[in-house]
Structure 1
Amino acid sequence: MKGLSVSPTMPDVGAVIRSLLGVLVVAGVALHWAGPTAAIAAAGASAIAGAVALQDSPRGQLRLVVWVTIAMGVAALFAAAAEPYAAVFAVLVALWGFASGMTWAISANAGLVAASAMALLVLTPAADPPWPEAAAAGGLALAGGLGQAALMVVWPRRRRRTQRAALARAYRSLASDARALAADPTASIDPQPLMWLKEAFTLTDAQAARRPLAYRSWYGLPDRIAVTVTAIAGRVPGAPECALVLQAAADVLAAVAAPSPLARRSAGDALDAFDATAATVTGPEAVSVQRLSEQLRDAVALRYGEVTPPPDLPELRRPGLPGEARDMLARIRSHLGWESPVLRHAVRLSLAAAAGALVARFADLGHGYWIPLTVVMVLRPETAHTYTRCVGRVAGNALGIVVAGVVVLTLHPTGLFAAGFAALFLAVTYAVAGFGYMALSAALAAAIVMLVDIGGSADVATISDRLLATLIGGALAVLAHVLLPDHADVRLRQRAGELLKTEIDYAATVIRAYAHEIDKPAEALSAAWERAYRARAAFEAAAGAHAGNDPAFRRWLRAYRTALNVVTASCSALETAIPARPPSGWSMEFLTAVDDYVHVLSGDPAPPGAAWQADMGLLTTATERVRAAVPSSDAATARVLIGELGVITGQLSTLSNGAARLPDNA
């Protein structure tokens, strides 16, 4: 169930209703055909698969739900069969916990989904007799997840449909505009489809600015193509071959507008034709043509299901399942060193959950499954505020248990009635996901209580048992962190990366407010600054507790603080100089270049176990693009922005590659 925390904000209502209806239908079918044990497994698997289906993913969402469903079926099968045997079940929990912890090496979402499967493992009741009922639990869990996959196909998300339509419209418009510019260089790009595209991706998603670069490329790339096409059109009178380039680009854009398996080869042929035409351009305009070539390749790659362009784009080959499996295994192997926070998290999760399963069995505690379940819900491979977040999640669990317990004592829901309350609390989970981990834990714990109570009702003693088990599980989680903390050097590096990321988020907010009119700018800037301030306090605490007092460490600490102070000063200067209203004379090319800089500056989230760093290659290129696009009107205001961007980029270069890098032996 922990995978429900994957989605950071409330998805669109239609998609949530779709997911919850799937849970109710599966619970009803399982209750009718196989009983409460299978109903708990099936409804839990359906809820997890539904949460995964609500994620925004650039590609492979249906395939991801199917693979998650298979994992849920296996977890339910093994749990129902092994749960009657204490030692066997504890070993199963330990092995699954270690594997679940190591999946954080792949990505944070993969780690949360694996933890969800582990939560289902410890939740599924014992089957009696073991194998027929265990097989039913596993089979119905599989059916529950596949039901969510089927709902994705027949009832696609409204926002997803809107985004696909906006993408098709934007690329069709760009193709038409490119042909018009080839015939008449005085023509212009129609900005309306590009504006609709950006609104489709951002106005319905409060977290769009924090999405990975691959996600933001969906709506940012057409803007960049429009700027490049306009620049090439300005060369047409003196370089007639540029008109042919625009015509060839229009063919590619038309193929991108409506991707399909039949058009896949046409897109490759159009790119071949474009490359042949682009090779004839040798003058100063060749730089713009080369940039357009790269952008068109990115557009084709994204629209035909690739996050990054493959080596042989005209054939549009995918790595396939074997290639993806090799990549995942390589990431996991890279974290098998004892200093890795991912490996230490896996060991903590494995040992604490297995110990919790044994305590639950031999302590004769009612609803003892809450001990290992709390361990699963509390532990993360985190370095910042570890104990605070552990205690906060345990407190959230306790609050959710009490709230759900009051509902149970008052209404005594069982069967499908209890499943309905579970779906209701799942809806609350989605609604409060953006309010912090305590609220999320409370809603999720309440949903789990109702899910388990499909087979019966509870009393006051049951609520007390659940609270006691939750406290024991929380104590085991904290104890695991105390006995096996992260390596001191790794912790300091990650705290440094967290501080750098919050400073960059503050800088991105300031730059966005300088160039655009944003809602409640004072509140947005204040919130970004407060996050950076808290991260700086955590970093200073980690630096003060660090044992490395050699000269190299002191030089690193001094250089790191100096560079961050310069970044903060630049942000403060920009914040002070923010115009009352964004300048109206800035060109689309300049604003697009600034937006690109902000997107690259924000970067992708750091992989679990790694400190965040800026991509200096992309950031340097984005900085030069802003400088090259300086507008003729309101140039003084623009130069203030360009100057501070240069300072920020320079300091980030120092932090990423220069003297401010933490020495390995610090």
Structure 2
Amino acid sequence: MSWFRALKVTTRSGLTVERKRLEPLIALRGAAGLAIVIAVSLTLFGPAVAAGSAFGAFQAAIATFQRSWRPRPELALASGASLGVSTFLGYLTGSHLFLFLPLLALWTYLAGLAWAAGPTIGIMASSNVAMMLVTITLPTTVAEAAGHAAMMAFGGLVQAALVVLFPVRRWGAHRDALADALAAEADYARRLRHDPVAPFDPEPLMLARSAAALTPRQARTRPAQLHGTRGVAERIRPVLASLADPAVGVPEEGPERDRVRELLAAAGAILDAAARAIRHGSRVKVPPDAIAAFRSPDTGVILSGPPQRAAARLGSLLRDVLETAGGTSGSAPPDPTPRGSAPDPAAQSPQGLELPTQPDAAAPPAPTPRGSAPDPAPQSPAGLDVPAQPDTSAPVPLRRPSIFTLLPVAVRAMKREARPGSPVLRHANRVAAVAVAGYLIGEVLPYGHGYWAPMSAVMVMRPDFSQTYSRAIARFGGTLVGVTLATAILQLAHPGTYLSAVLAVVCAALMYLLMRTGQLAAQGCIAMYVVFLLGMGGQEWSQTVPERVVLTLVGGVLAMTSYALYPAWETPRLRTRLADWLAALGEYAAAVVAHYASPAGKSCPDVREALLKARDAHIAWEQAATRAKTEPVRHRGLSNAAADDAAHALHHIGRVVMLMEAHLPERGATPVPAADALAEALRAATRDGAQAIRERRIPRWKAVREALDAWDGEGVPDRVVRRGAGLFLETLEELSEALDTDVPPMTRESTESREPSERG
């Protein structure tokens, strides 16, 4: 993509205002906390302290809006306390340039590294630097500076108290994550009716796992509907795929396929009903025809073999979903037979496909017992506070660190990224240099209030190109609108201290309400908020609108120029991301195939751990590929077409392994000795293939082919595992063909490594 097109795309993204679900009650709660802090500060300390302390309450409320699974009170307290510390240090050194510049460089550098611990911590750290640049301009003594810092921490305490006293959908984000996962599987079931090999995006499941990682306090108060459902949902996806796929299931046409389509449609309806109940915390309302589809005794007559086993397994899993979604997790399934009536002989088929009717709404959901283990769910690397241990099929607790133990975890994450070539480290270097340069430029320019330049740069800079540039455009546009309106009001109305405070609170409320609709509206409200708040603090605004906009433009240009000169492009790393994904899928496939040689039942922690690593690698690839598409960089060894084709092949590899996992043999089943050799061949071949991709060579799969040939000579008792292994080899060859079209970049040693039969 050319620079012109990249700037066009990012400009459009930054200026876009999206239609989002607004949350007026949460916005009103945040504005009320801000108003309380300003009122208390004005009454006890005066306008200057009120202006400074208001930033603590303002940022604490913003922290509660971040996409984090941590309790909102913890976020507000951490935000207020960290801002208080940052501001106090800024006050101590603000009047001495030779002391303040090193502090600013260090603080922004640490704020840049904080992105290693997750976007929530990264945003809070960056906001600390931006707010510090504003508040230290308010005249004060050291003693008053301590009072300012204390009031900022008080602002976070007030916002935390309001969240506790006036909860609005306290578990709403966790409910939405789990409901989205179930809804995604419902959509997947419906798409499988028409496309038996339809793709599935694992991101909703990964977000649900991330939401299931709880602090000890959350684990004691989690609603029963959120306990256990995600683990069941994880096991539904491979069963759906195995039931629909003609390679290991029923033919593409005929009565068996018609019955499978009915079951898939019913599964979609049941999963949607469970998703609605979890999202709203209400009773499960399942369509009667969906229940009837699984109760039909014809299923056991029409289906046989692996499809019949998959249908039975699906019915059992859907029953578990309804139990937990209805708040009856851990209790016996409700009896579908009405009181006083005879059991219906058709209500339970011999294949175990029965489903319970709706749970009794009169029985309240039982809360999670104190000290019970939370639902095992590993944390995804995207959009998280800290990494968490991977879950296994055993009920291992997945704990999120408490606020008191978070600091060492974040420090360890920052140390991991403090290495050459790390995008986070490059971001830290960029933001530190830009903050210092912007502050010096603002001091040199004759405009006054030069902190607008570094503040604008720090607020828009992110570790990736597209977000930095789109936010810079939005920041400039929003500031242009915001300062124009705010300055016009100041000049026309000449508001006093209290009216300025009211206007600041109104602007903050609008920002809380509109912040999810796009950066343009949010940045405009922030600009107005800062103008009114500093006006309340007694600052004389001698700048004109053009001068304020010029300083904002300077900050944006510095941010954009720094990324152009010292980038962290994803495009050159695509081959590495693709290789990592292939290697992770190889480990997953080897773990699954090995269990056919040593049957251990459905509980296979090694398979589960390998699956989670493969999903993490998949998400890392998706994020890198998405960012690379907006970067003004030419590909280096992996074109867009080759990347898309290779990703398509790896999707199929993951699907084939998932099909084999769905049919893992039960403990005591007849082992398949040849599976051991195939597992080792898969592990070694995919590891070598990943290295070949990193070195711009075409991977070859001779070892896998030889293992399959040896397997055929011994005979295979289960057609599912042999067919799945053959499909795996076919998808690996599709990967090589996809990369082989990327000529000339990926040609080194490619022709030399081809087999004679492939040379023609």
- TM-score in same-fold range (> 0.5): yes
1:243-254 → structure 2 map (5 Å cutoff): none
Paired AA for residue 153 in structure 1: V
- Compute the displacement of 1:43 (Å): 0.7
- Compute the displacement of 1:452 (Å): 1.9
Cα separation, partners in 2 of 1:541 and 1:298, compared to 1, 3 Å: closer
Larger Rg: 1 or 2?
2
CA contact 1:171–1:222 (8 Å) conserved in 2: no
The separation in 2 between residues aligned to 1:419 and 1:336, in whole angstroms, is: 42
- Compute the displacement of 1:366 (Å): 1.7
**Are positions 1:137 and 2:148 aligned together?**
yes
The separation in 1 between residues aligned to 2:390 and 2:641, in whole angstroms, is: 40
Among candidates 439, 442, 459, match of residue 377 of structure 1: 459
Paired AA for residue 298 in structure 1: P
CA contact 1:360–1:371 (8 Å) conserved in 2: yes
Pairwise CA RMSD: 5.3
**SS of equivalent residue, structure 1 residue 456:** coil
**Are positions 1:264 and 2:370 aligned together?**
yes
In the TM superposition, what whole-angstrom CA distance separates every residue of 1:147-190 from its partner, at most 9, and x where no partner exists? 1011111111146479889984757999xxxxxxxxxxxxx999
Equivalent residue for 1:559? 642
CA contact 2:376–2:391 (8 Å) conserved in 1: no
Equivalent residue for 2:756? none
**SS of equivalent residue, structure 2 residue 370:** helix
Cα separation, partners in 2 of 1:435 and 1:173, compared to 1, 3 Å: closer
The separation in 2 between residues aligned to 1:59 and 1:419, in whole angstroms, is: 31
The separation in 2 between residues aligned to 1:162 and 1:479, in whole angstroms, is: 37
The separation in 2 between residues aligned to 1:258 and 1:196, in whole angstroms, is: 20
Paired AA for residue 60 in structure 1: P
The separation in 2 between residues aligned to 1:173 and 1:323, in whole angstroms, is: 26
**Are positions 1:61 and 2:58 aligned together?**
no
Structure 2: tracts of 5 or more residues without a match = 1-17, 180-221, 230-266, 283-315, 334-345, 380-386, 582-621, 665-726, 749-760
- Compute the displacement of 1:121 (Å): 0.7
The separation in 1 between residues aligned to 2:640 and 2:68, in whole angstroms, is: 38
The separation in 2 between residues aligned to 1:537 and 1:47, in whole angstroms, is: 31
Cα separation, partners in 2 of 1:197 and 1:462, compared to 1, 3 Å: same
TM-score by structure 2 length? 0.52
Equivalent residue for 2:131? 120
**Are positions 1:348 and 2:430 aligned together?**
yes
Paired AA for residue 258 in structure 1: P
In the TM superposition, what whole-angstrom CA distance separates every residue of 1:79-134 from its partner, at most 9, and x where no partner exists? 22222222222222111110111111111121111111111110113465521110
Stretch moving more, 311-320 or 27-36? 311-320
- Compute the displacement of 1:461 (Å): 3.5
Among candidates 629, 636, 648, match of residue 539 of structure 1: 629
**Are positions 1:493 and 2:583 aligned together?**
no
In the TM superposition, what whole-angstrom CA distance separates every residue of 1:388-430 from its partner, at most 9, and x where no partner exists? 5533432322222112212222222342322222222223223
The separation in 2 between residues aligned to 1:35 and 1:470, in whole angstroms, is: 29
The separation in 2 between residues aligned to 1:344 and 1:74, in whole angstroms, is: 25
The separation in 1 between residues aligned to 2:643 and 2:78, in whole angstroms, is: 43
Cα separation, partners in 2 of 1:19 and 1:113, compared to 1, 3 Å: same
Among candidates 443, 446, 467, match of residue 549 of structure 2: 467
Equivalent residue for 1:441? 523
Equivalent residue for 1:148? 159
Equivalent residue for 2:479? 397
Equivalent residue for 1:225? 320
Paired AA for residue 347 in structure 1: N
The separation in 2 between residues aligned to 1:340 and 1:300, in whole angstroms, is: 24
The separation in 2 between residues aligned to 1:27 and 1:615, in whole angstroms, is: 58
The separation in 1 between residues aligned to 2:533 and 2:83, in whole angstroms, is: 16
**SS of equivalent residue, structure 2 residue 376:** helix
Paired AA for residue 376 in structure 2: D
CA contact 2:101–2:436 (8 Å) conserved in 1: yes
- Compute the displacement of 1:369 (Å): 1.5
- Compute the displacement of 1:48 (Å): 0.9
- Compute the displacement of 1:615 (Å): 12
Among candidates 11, 25, 32, match of residue 36 of structure 2: 25
Among candidates 72, 80, 90, match of residue 79 of structure 1: 90
The separation in 2 between residues aligned to 1:481 and 1:114, in whole angstroms, is: 20
Cα separation, partners in 2 of 1:473 and 1:143, compared to 1, 3 Å: same
Paired AA for residue 122 in structure 2: G
**SS of equivalent residue, structure 2 residue 136:** coil
- Compute the displacement of 1:256 (Å): 8.2
Among candidates 371, 376, 385, match of residue 298 of structure 1: 376
The separation in 1 between residues aligned to 2:419 and 2:19, in whole angstroms, is: 31
In the TM superposition, what whole-angstrom CA distance separates every residue of 1:429-470 from its partner, at most 9, and x where no partner exists? 234334433333222222222222222376674434322321
Equivalent residue for 1:200? 280
Structure 1: tracts of 5 or more residues without a match = 1-6, 175-187, 203-220, 269-295, 502-531, 568-612, 629-645
Cα separation, partners in 2 of 1:542 and 1:477, compared to 1, 3 Å: closer
**Are positions 1:367 and 2:449 aligned together?**
yes
Paired AA for residue 147 in structure 1: V
The separation in 1 between residues aligned to 2:120 and 2:139, in whole angstroms, is: 34
1:506-545 → structure 2 map (5 Å cutoff): 539=629, 542=632, 544=634
In the TM superposition, what whole-angstrom CA distance separates every residue of 1:513-568 from its partner, at most 9, and x where no partner exists? xxxxxxxxxxxxxxxxxxx9xx8896386553x5x4xxxx25x766324346x69x
Stretch moving more, 316-325 or 36-45? 316-325
User: Greater helix share, 1 or 2?
Assistant: 1
Identity of aligned residues (%): 25
Cα separation, partners in 2 of 1:543 and 1:297, compared to 1, 3 Å: same
Equivalent residue for 2:307? none
The separation in 1 between residues aligned to 2:661 and 2:103, in whole angstroms, is: 55
The separation in 2 between residues aligned to 1:356 and 1:73, in whole angstroms, is: 23
The separation in 2 between residues aligned to 1:453 and 1:652, in whole angstroms, is: 67
How many residues were matched structurally? 476
The separation in 2 between residues aligned to 1:224 and 1:427, in whole angstroms, is: 44
Cα separation, partners in 2 of 1:224 and 1:45, compared to 1, 3 Å: farther
Cα separation, partners in 2 of 1:334 and 1:86, compared to 1, 3 Å: same
- Compute the displacement of 1:481 (Å): 2.3
The separation in 2 between residues aligned to 1:624 and 1:374, in whole angstroms, is: 53
